[in-house]
Structure 1
Amino acid sequence: MKNIKIAITALVTLFLFQSCSEDKMDEINKNVNNPTDMASRLIITDVMVNSAFAVTGSDASFYAGIYSELNAGNHNQMYNAQVRRSEPQLSSTYNNGWNNSYEQLKTLRIIIDKCTAGEEKGNYQTLGIAQILLAYNLAVLTDLFGDVPYEEAGKSGIIFQPKVDKQEAIYQDIFAKLNEGIANLKKTTTYSSLGNQDLIYGGNSAKWIKAANGLLARYTMRLSFRKADYQGAINYVNASFASADDELKFVNAGVPNPYARFQLDRGAVCVSKSFYNTMVSNGPTDARTNAFFTKIGGAVVAFDNSKEDLEGQGIYSISALMSEKNPIYLLSYHELLFLKAEAEARLGLSQAQITMNAAIKASYTKKQVVTFTEVQADAYIASIGTLTGDALLKKIMLEKHISFYENEGIESYNDIRRLRAMGNGNLIPMVNPKPNLFPLRFAYGQSDVASNSNIKDLYGDGSYVYKENVWWAGGTR
């Protein structure tokens, strides 16, 4: 009897399942915690967080800061990068940043498709912001890696080994996307503003337009070796930030500054002696020198990066500016002013030093946990004296380099490579004892070296990172 009851129960259960409609079953099986589609306003918030934390502020900034000698690596993989022990040419070194960049590009393309021809056609604010963020993420990727998969990348299940696009062509699209973003942000839309979903500007389209113009200024200067357009860069700066209140940065109580988080967790980055010496050379009126670095036994103990100094945690001074509350800069006001000052100096314009002085003041007073006053900035600026010609250009680039401390390392690294291509490699002193092993680019990420023959062939044994400049720095790829 018991077996009969079980059999009847099984048959009834089967009948009930067969009686359910497919729509009902789809509804039952739907995982509400893992939706396959959502509004673009929700997606773009995640992209903003990841663009700042995972792409700009993390691994790429740590390694670029070491290569540009803003910092020194004193432990584990950062020490290996410091002393050029295999790390710079390994595909595993940069794999996290490589994958994070492609994840943002893929997501931004989804948003752009939705707002261009999809179900949110006419959502111009979200579209414009997505185009600006795509240009930004794409520039970070190609600046560090050179020629990369782009047009065919991110088409899951369709193209499994995307071809590699030339950096020159990629840069054309960067400029196009920024200009398209500006145009779309100026359009009228029936869609509501992003508001609080925009964690950077709170849905303020005018500020995003300023940011796009600032990025156009940065990338115009980036291409100076290939095609100098200094007046164009100045014009873009003039259309961009009016103060530090406008700058493209990420500050959120729930998202820690990755440099501080990494240092607290790993203790792998310390004070670079060459950078410390640059600060000391500014003289006693530069209040930053005494406040930038922690003291050990009452003195700054810097890693001597003119030799293969000792590896160890806790034996060197570290940044005294470090805080998880510090902003993550995607494009700062001080960088923008330094771009303008450089362009004016290269054109021989008389106002170049005035602009440099404004840039120094913006750098001094940038909004972080440890701050300096305008009075301190003015005292230092007054000590500089009048500069012209090469001396002025050198001071502009050195002060710009200082302004990137502690973790705007990507832009410092980009500047050093650009200046070398332009014959100005002496403007920022570099003392690493292995100049032939200065990484001219990052090695392709392991995930694609292992799965994409187009990348594997270009990667080879990874030694190309020491031999081949990216296109905008005079290379072919």
Structure 2
Amino acid sequence: MKKYKVILLLVIASLSLNSCSEDKMDEINKNVNDPLDVPTRFAITDAMTSTAFSNTGSDLSFYTGVYVELNAGGFGQMYNAETRNGEPKNQTTNNNSWNSIYQTMYNLKLIINKCTTGEEKGNYETLGVAQVLYAYNLALLTDMFGDVPFTEAFQPGVIFTPKLDRQEDLYKIVFATLEDAIVNLGKTSGYENLGSQDLIYNGDTDSWTKAANGLLARYTLRLSFKNPNYAKVLDYVSKSFTSNGEEFKMKNSNIPNPYYQFYVARKYLFASKSLHDKLTAKNDPRADGYFKKIKKTPTATPTYEFYANGVSPQSQTYSYSALQNVNNPIFMLSYHELLFIKAEAEARNSAAVTSTASLIAAVNAAFNKDEAINFSTANATNYIDALNITTNADLLKEIAVQKYLAFYENESVEAYNDYRRLLAMYGSAAANPIQLANPLNATQFPLRLPYGDSDVSANSNVKAAFGDGNYVYTEKVWWAGGTR
């Protein structure tokens, strides 16, 4: 009998424990180092970091830099990109970037919702910042991949195969989101200023507003083949940066520059002969400053060894960038880019414009950009004057080329976007002011990047659009004259 009483007491104790301590057990099992919900001031920091490092500065920049020949892919996966060996059209090529952009946008959407209708309603500073980053990432996504899932995306467990939205419609959302951001950044918020949680502007909403206007200028110019509005571009420029100290960039001692990291880890990217030839043809002072000499043998005299784009053999014995530095910024929108946007908009707005003043200002900013090496001793006025630009058409072509040269090495995504836009505006590769050397471009220039494997494998809509991947060589994105 005593035995059964003991068993009965144990059963009662067990029932009592299960009935009254389930909430306690949930609390005990909660991982405090992996919270499901955090204040937006902390979540926004992660979104800034992923936007700059993972989305802007890494794989997308490495690959597009090879395609537009700011860099040359001399080894490994970059050599495959250089020689069009699978990399440009494989669904696995840009899967990491594809996933990262979507994850960043999902996190930003949560922040926006929380600051709009959720528990932090009225947190206008964080809301405005999140909207700038959201619009930037959406533009990055559709610029690289064209039509993509969006309006039906970000609904896990509800919609498993979201449809693809047209790039034309996505750009309307980009503009609307940036305009909303500017309004919200101008409101008074009762919440604590982001301060040091803001790794880009340290909680300065005026700077975020200038960045939003700069992005509006960029994206308005981006649509110049479809819907030119150069007066509007200039209006946005007038409300944006006035110096390189206001640039939209990530520069933080705890966040290493991706190009530096990639070189240290892989040594896959080298000095492009195509780029060097363009510089030397203009007696450009950057012809030497951009590159490092190397020794072919331990006792040899250091020399330049340039990779002939699409032609040279796979090797790790080529010259490389002289700009590489762990502390270099990751540019989302630079001051020199803004000035080149201004120069082009002025020249396109009136065929009577032949003055090189705005071009000189842009080149001077490019000579003095925020990287490990600057070219402050070079005289931008003398440099441009020596090119003897006398017509509006020549001015426009030189603006395009100088902007391209200024994008070396870590603004490759925008160089790629510009090349494709100009391809549409000038009608052919032969007429494009930016001339590329890789002979494979005749039939295999990547007009867009392939969708990521995660969705090609799981979403029938994306799989159908992907096909066999060859569309990257034949289908232009909408703003460059395509249909998707």
Measured after TM superposition, the shift of residue 183 of structure 1 is: 0.5
TM-score with structure 2 setting the length: 0.94
1:363 partner amino acid = A
User: Is the 1:365–1:374 contact (alpha carbons within 8 Å) kept by the matching residues of 2?
Assistant: no
Q: 1:291 aligns with which of 274, 289, 294?
A: 289
Give the secondary-structure state (helix, strand or coil) at the position aligned to 2:270.
strand
2:298 aligned residue: none
Unaligned ranges ≥5, structure 2:
295-300
1:445 aligned residue: 452
Distance between the aligned counterparts of 2:323 and 2:4, measured in 1? 76
Measured after TM superposition, the shift of residue 7 of structure 1 is: 6.0
TM-score with structure 1 setting the length: 0.95
User: Is the 2:247–2:335 contact (alpha carbons within 8 Å) kept by the matching residues of 1?
Assistant: yes
Give the secondary-structure state (helix, strand or coil) at the position aligned to 2:356.
helix
User: Is the 2:347–2:396 contact (alpha carbons within 8 Å) kept by the matching residues of 1?
Assistant: yes
List per-residue Cα deviations over 1:280-304 (Å, max 9, x = no partner).
Answer: 1111xx3211111011343321111
Equivalences for residues 304-453 of structure 1 within 5 A: 304-305=308-309, 307-313=310-316, 315-346=317-348, 347-348=350-351, 350=353, 352-373=355-376, 376-423=379-426, 425=429, 426-434=432-440, 435-453=442-460
List per-residue Cα deviations over 1:254-302 (Å, max 9, x = no partner).
Answer: 111101101111110111111010011111xx32111110113433211
User: Is the 1:274–1:431 contact (alpha carbons within 8 Å) kept by the matching residues of 2?
Assistant: yes
1:318 partner amino acid = Y
Distance between the aligned counterparts of 1:210 and 1:34, measured in 2? 35
List per-residue Cα deviations over 1:322-354 (Å, max 9, x = no partner).
Answer: 111100000000000001111111123547511
**Which segment drifts farther, 349-358 or 387-396?**
349-358
Distance between the aligned counterparts of 1:177 and 1:293, measured in 2? 40
**Which segment drifts farther, 351-360 or 263-272?**
351-360
Distance between the aligned counterparts of 2:76 and 2:224, measured in 1? 36
Measured after TM superposition, the shift of residue 386 of structure 1 is: 4.3
Distance between the aligned counterparts of 1:351 and 1:251, measured in 2? 36
1:474 aligned residue: 481
1:320 partner amino acid = A
User: Is the 1:342–1:352 contact (alpha carbons within 8 Å) kept by the matching residues of 2?
Assistant: no
Distance between the aligned counterparts of 2:338 and 2:390, measured in 1? 20
Distance between the aligned counterparts of 1:458 and 1:92, measured in 2? 15
Give the secondary-structure state (helix, strand or coil) at the position aligned to 1:87.
coil
List per-residue Cα deviations over 1:94-143 (Å, max 9, x = no partner).
Answer: 10110011001111110010001000111111111111111000000000
Distance between the aligned counterparts of 1:110 and 1:349, measured in 2? 49
Measured after TM superposition, the shift of residue 6 of structure 1 is: 9.6
1:185 partner amino acid = L
**Which segment drifts farther, 204-213 or 18-27?**
18-27
Distance 1:322 1:423, change over 3 A: same
Q: 1:301 aligns with which of 301, 305, 312?
A: 305
Give the secondary-structure state (helix, strand or coil) at the position aligned to 2:386.
helix
Distance between the aligned counterparts of 2:474 and 2:9, measured in 1? 73
List per-residue Cα deviations over 1:402-459 (Å, max 9, x = no partner).
Answer: 1100011100000010001011642001111112100000000001000000000010
Measured after TM superposition, the shift of residue 18 of structure 1 is: 3.0
List per-residue Cα deviations over 1:149-190 (Å, max 9, x = no partner).
Answer: 001111111111111000000000000000000001111111
1:184 aligned residue: 184
Distance 1:337 1:254, change over 3 A: same
Give the secondary-structure state (helix, strand or coil) at the position aligned to 1:89.
coil
2:252 aligned residue: 252
Measured after TM superposition, the shift of residue 379 of structure 1 is: 4.6
Distance 1:6 1:61, change over 3 A: farther
Measured after TM superposition, the shift of residue 396 of structure 1 is: 0.7
Distance 1:383 1:162, change over 3 A: same
2:297 aligned residue: none
Q: Does 1:465 align with 2:465?
A: no
Q: Identity of paired residues, percent?
A: 50
Distance 1:44 1:460, change over 3 A: same
User: Is the 2:214–2:237 contact (alpha carbons within 8 Å) kept by the matching residues of 1?
Assistant: yes
User: Is the 1:341–1:352 contact (alpha carbons within 8 Å) kept by the matching residues of 2?
Assistant: no
Distance between the aligned counterparts of 1:24 and 1:405, measured in 2? 57
Equivalences for residues 157-306 of structure 1 within 5 A: 157-283=157-283, 286-296=284-294, 297-305=301-309
